[in-house]
Amino acid sequence: MATIKHTIDASGKTLGRVASVAAHALLGKNEVEFTKNNVADVHVSIVNAGKTKMTEKRTLETKHETYSGRPGGLKFKTNAKILAQKGKGVAELYRLAVYNMLPNNKLRPRMMKRLIITD
């Protein structure tokens, strides 16, 4: 079976809507031979990620949490802080959004390897 490539143009679209389309394609839900226990042979590329439409309220109020497992180890980052970090930018926001939309199982890292984000 040949690999299927999806290209999503993110210019002028909101981050969540593009991420949900990418997650849906990575799961393989729009393929005829969809099975939950296999990774679909699909590669998704998001182009023009830097031209994503994002409001000021969304950049300041959305929080991403990380937890180290230790007492007091819960940390939050806003979208503005992630955008300000050197070398990350909007691609990291897309990666986080798609990552959290995929199921939390052993297949998630293999699905994330098939996601390519370009500015």
Q: What is the reported pLDDT for 88?
A: 81
The answer as to whether 50 is a domain residue is: yes
The answer as to whether 11 is a domain residue is: yes
Q: What is the reported pLDDT for 86?
A: 80
Q: What is the reported pLDDT for 1?
A: 60
The answer as to whether 97 is a domain residue is: yes
What whole-number distance in Å separates Cα of residue 79 and Cα of residue 90? 9
The answer as to whether 63 is a domain residue is: no
The answer as to whether 13 is a domain residue is: yes
The answer as to whether 99 is a domain residue is: yes
**Which domain CATH number covers 26?**
3.90.1180.10
Tell whether the torsion through CA atoms of 82, 103, 106 and 113 is positive or negative: negative
> How many structural domains does the chain have?
1
Low-confidence ranges of the chain (pLDDT < 50): none
What whole-number distance in Å separates Cα of residue 17 and Cα of residue 98? 10
pTM over 0.85: yes
The answer as to whether 47 is a domain residue is: yes
CB 8 within 8 A of CB 15: no
The answer as to whether 28 is a domain residue is: yes
Give the structural domain span for 94: 4-54+88-117
